[in-house]
Amino acid sequence: MLFILILLAFVGLSARLILINRDNGKDYKKQVLSQQEYDSVTIPFKRGEILDSNGTVLAISNKVYNIILDTKVLMDDKANLEPTLNALRSAFGIDTSAAREYISTHPTSSYYVLDRRVSYDKVEKFKELQKDEKNGSKIKGIWFEDEYKREYPNGSLACDVIGFTRSDNSGLYGLEEYYNDILCGTNGREYGYLNNDSTLQRTTVAAVDGYNIQTTLDANIQSIVEKYLKKFNEEHKDGFVEGNGAQNVGCIIMEVDTANVLAMANYPVYDLNDTRNTDNLIGMPELDENNKKTGECVTQEKIDAMNDDAMYRHLNALWKNFCIVDAYEPGSVSKPFTVAAALESGSITGNERYVCNGSLEVVAGEKPIKCHSTYGDGELSVAEGIERSCNVVLMNIALQLGKNKFVDYQHLFGFGLKTNIDLAGEARTASLVYGKDNMRQAELATCSFGQGFNSTMIQTITGFCSLINGGKFYEPHVVSKITTADGATVENIEPRLLKQTVSESTSEKILEYCNQVVTGEKGTGKTARPAGYMIGGKTGTAETLPRGNNEYVVSFMGYAPADDPQIAIYVVVDRPNVQYQDDAKYATKIVKNILTEVLPYLNIFMTEELTDKEREELEELQIAIRQGEADNTDEEGVPGQEGGEGETPTEGNAEGEGGENSGKEGTEGGVEGQAGSAANEIWKTFPIDPETGYAKDPNNGNLVDPDTGAVVNGGSLITNEDGSAASGIGEPPKGDDSDNNNFGP
């Protein structure tokens, strides 16, 4: 009876189990499986590479490893503890006391990161210790998690163009930020789970790597540019005041017929592998809590005293790309744009002649606006006005053009509009140019020679390329191709023609005028010509705000060869660290040095006969290049002895004034009624000041460029009775984009 009762109980229990499994089996199975321990490992994607146009790697992601501690596995046998800690100390230099403390306080932990981003060499050394016959079997509870570390093989090369990545592998600044979605891939994952037989199975979803991008940059040209920007800083650092050789120095080299950027750089630079290194902050302008310049430079003592917010402000200033972020008044490099607009619209023919007596009364009864040569340039043609950079000629042309056409053509040339270059952070300048509703005659006059509106370097050189390539305006870009990790092409990025700015005939005249800037007897850009080559271009000198502060932005916009432009180059020096800043030779000499190396590299052959002096300079340069320490082979001499420019309007009365401006527009032969005496180049009779090398006016003490008659020691566009700068006239409009204007109030 007992046996039968037990048997019936088992039968009933079996029946009940069958019913439970039928009705609730899946739920109970999930509950049991949920109490099991599973492993799930993330497989990181590899961020795409950034290459130059020749395939040189500019940015790459290399595999590194995170050291993971599994305390539970390690402490299965306490005999494993010391051999494991000794191996960690030997291979990775890990602080074993900290690891020991963690193990004691987290005995059941399965995941703890002991160290991040260690190299394969160290991992290999650890694995060799695991193979040791004596203690290797006791090294337990350590495994390695794959990760990728972004590295930049060339350090600071093209840092402002490339940008860098955060710790989360997302891009910041430059190409890294703009093409972040392209460069990023998708993480994979490896899952561990129990199958129906309760055995552990693994499923792997592979990571998808990011695409590579091939840029239009040429690493060799980029390195040449950066070398001479650095050399300029070394020559002028702490020159007049404590600080860098200039507040900013920038250079862009662009293909004229495609708008491909071959090089883009500014100084100072930073190491992409060590972005928070503060060494390069020393000498930069100090910023206050409102991100405005204090007038002093950053020193090591000031760095040591900075809080986190102040440090970030200054690092951000170091990381940004001056060539696309900072807006400034371009100065006389914009004069070819004014002439091109007047020619294209039919406002002038190019055969006009104008008289420059040193200033022009634009509005009756108001103060005259000065020319760079207060002594006057006499009667000039349009071509001579560009050659000598005469403000009076340009003001007359602008008055004939009229404000409506001037504004229309400014927009056509791209001023006030973003170029949409494929780099993060390009400045908006829409509110930093005048419109038809707020431009008066005085603003029209000053804007004609590049004062009164703001632009960026990329805007200016992009528009200039259209002036010299037949009128074709291309969208500037830095990336030419997107490829997969195995080299397959995903997308070719072709040059994008956006519009026609001027006709070919107008373009030919602009080339003719700009060639004279370098080749003409009184050309302001003679010092930009590299030995053996003929180039064209335009110098620029812009007075910063507030007017009368004796601070200037000097520049040179050029192209080579002169008869068939292939590349354009634009160098801007923002407030050189010298006593008298308004001298464009600080920019032209940089251009000359860069082109001396870049043009032969591009297989652009010499067309001009070399002098003995030039031949010696080139031989010295070749020796220096071979030694890896290329020097600036320019004969330094003294400022103002050759070419150069100082066209920023200055104080003083025009010599020989007495004629009247009739104000007639569009007359053949220019503006009538300016009858005063023609310029007699009186400045050439002035004695040379031995300290500066400039001519010195014995009447008022002004220092004058002996070639051009430009006063180089200060002055303003329009002056009050007491000689102080008149405010409001010739200043850029203040709008929503004013934060981009480093030179505004």
CATH number at residue 80: 3.90.1310.10
Residue 130 to residue 174: CA distance in whole angstroms: 44
Residue 348 backbone zone (phi > 0: left; psi -120 to 50: alpha; other: beta): beta
What pLDDT was estimated at residue 412?
A: 97
Give the number of domains in the chain: 3
Q: Looking at the structure, do residues 330 and 193 belong to the same domain, yes or no?
A: no
Domain final residue, candidates 304, 320, 336 = 320
Statement to judge: residues 416 and 462 lie in one domain: yes
Residue 25 lies in a domain: no
Same domain, 308 and 454: no
- In this prediction, residue 592 carries a pLDDT of 96
Distance CA 562, CA 568 (A): 10
Is 343 in contact with 182 (CB distance < 8 Å)?
Answer: no
Co-location of 311 and 342 in the same domain: no
Domain boundary pick from 186, 215, 244 = 215
| 730 φψ region: left (φ > 0), alpha (ψ -120 to 50), beta (else) | left
Q: 633 by DSSP, 3-state: which?
A: coil
Residues 588 and 518 in one domain: yes
Would you say residue 631 lies in a domain? yes
d(CA 320, CA 323): 9
Where does residue 196 rank: exposed (0-12), middle (13-18), buried (19+ CB within 10 A)? Answer: exposed
The whole-angstrom distance between residue 714's C-alpha and the CA centroid of its chain comes to: 29
- Shared domain for 154 and 288, answered yes or no, is no
User: DSSP states of 466-521 as a string?
Assistant: HHHTTSEEEEPBSEEEEE-TTS-EEEE---EEEEE-S-HHHHHHHHHHHHHHHHST
| 336 located within any domain | yes
Q: Do 313 and 372 belong together in one domain? A: no
On whether both 464 and 554 belong to a single domain, the answer is yes
328 and 282 within one domain: no
Q: Considering the domain boundaries, does residue 11 fall inside one?
A: no
Domain limit, last residue, from 172, 192, 215:
215
Determine whether 23 is exposed, middle or buried from the number of CB atoms within 10 Å of its CB (0-12, 13-18, 19+).
Answer: exposed
Residues with Cβ within 8 Å of 711's Cβ and at least 6 positions away in sequence, in order, are 372, 373, 374, 646, 650, 651, 652, 697, 702, 703, 704
CATH number of the domain at 353, please.
3.40.710.10
Q: How far apart are CA 187 and CA 42, in angstroms?
A: 7
Does a structural domain hold residue 546?
A: yes
> What is the reported pLDDT for 51?
97
Write b or e for each residue in 576-602: b if 16 or more Cβ atoms lie within 10 A of its Cβ, otherwise e. Answer: bbbebbbbbbbbbbbbbbbbbbbbeeb
Instruction: Name residue 454's amino acid.
Output: N
**Domain of residue 63, residue span:** 40-215
Q: Which amino acid is at 192?
A: G
β-sheet with 200-205: strand ranges across: 40-43, 188-194, 200-205
Q: Is residue 27 part of a domain?
A: no
Residue 113 lies in a domain: yes
The residue ranges of the chain whose pLDDT is under 70 are: 29-39, 192-202, 628-680, 683, 700, 707-709, 713-730, 734-745
448 and 306 share one domain: no
Q: Are 430 and 735 in contact (CB under 8 A)?
A: yes
- Confirm whether 4 is domain-assigned: no
Instruction: Render pLDDT for 188-201 as a digit per residue (tens, 0 to 9).
Output: 887 766 555 555 56
Same domain flag for 316 and 341: no
Q: Which residue has the tokens 């010295």?
A: 620
* Residues 285, 173 share a domain: no
